[in-house]
Chains A and B, each alone.
Chain A
């Protein structure tokens, strides 16, 4: 079984709808991240969480919100989806205890906003 899972894998939604993307991990890591990937722009950080009580904005947090429901679960919400939020979304985890900064990614969610 995959260590980092994301649901759904694909989603098509309409402008103005609220949508939630979910991420779960079995790696036991304390830190979790949400990224957005657009062609030619690499990966950009939306939000990150160091533990259940700690949530931080990344470089492109406008229009997004997150919830860390448990150490293993981190969800990303688009309150009112717009077409330029069409992208690939990745969740990642890391273990602060190793001190190494390596992040491990889920398989991604392809989101299309029409």
Chain B
């Protein structure tokens, strides 16, 4: 079946540093979504991407839909302590009409003040 590989698995960075993480798929997608999960809470949608090559920002977050449609990237600039959490990528091939998402394993981010 379809698989998503998300890397890195975890990151421990200094406040103020930039962060990059990515997801790669064995199949092409036409939707990429990025979520953040705080401890004890459900995932919250950060950015949605619908077109190959698309670059979208949400504050200090920027995500890109890879040209091959098999990958996506999330960057966080000037990290702050509240960026701590688990970041998930998710992909979907909507024309299958199932609406099902495939999730990456998550990147755990820790920020040292």
Residue on A nearest B104 in the bound complex, by CB: A42
Residue on A nearest B44 in the bound complex, by CB: A105
Interface residue total, chain B, C-beta cutoff 8 A? 27
B44, A101: Cβ atoms under 8 Å? no
Expressed in whole angstroms, the Cα–Cα distance for A42 and B42 within the complex equals 12
Q: Which residues of B contact A59 (CB under 8 A)?
A: 1
Known: A59-B1, A102-B48, A107-B41. A41 touches B105 (CB 8 A): yes
Q: Per-residue 0/1 for A92-104: is the Cβ within 8 Å of any B Cβ (1 yes, 0 no)? A: 1010100111111
B106, A42: Cβ atoms under 8 Å? yes
Chain B 68-113 residues near chain A, CB threshold 8 A: 88, 90, 92, 94, 98-101, 103-106
Residue on B nearest A43 in the bound complex, by CB: B103
A interface residue count range (under 10 / 10 to 19 / 20 to 34 / 35 or more): 20 to 34
Known: A59-B1, A101-B33. A42 touches B103 (CB 8 A): yes
Q: Which residues of B contact A92 (CB under 8 A)?
A: 42
Q: Per-residue 0/1 for A32-53: is the Cβ within 8 Å of any B Cβ (1 yes, 0 no)? A: 0000000011111100101000
B99, A104: Cβ atoms under 8 Å? no
Q: Which residues of B contact A74 (CB under 8 A)?
A: none
Chain A 49-89 residues near chain B, CB threshold 8 A: 50, 56, 58-59
Known: A31-B99, A42-B88, A48-B100. A102 touches B41 (CB 8 A): no
Known: A42-B88, A101-B94, A102-B33. A90 touches B100 (CB 8 A): no
Complex A-B, nearest 6 residue pairs according to Cβ-Cβ distance, in ascending order: A105-B42, A42-B103, A43-B103, A101-B92, A42-B105, A101-B31
Q: List 6 A-B contacts (CB under 8 A).
A: A31-B99, A42-B104, A59-B1, A96-B99, A101-B92, A103-B90
Interface residues of B (CB under 8 A from A): 1, 4, 6, 9, 31, 33, 35, 40-45, 48, 50, 88, 90, 92, 94, 98-101, 103-106
Please give 4 more A-B residue pairs, beta carbons under 8 A apart, in addition to A90-B42, A103-B99, A103-B101.
A40-B105, A40-B106, A101-B92, A101-B99
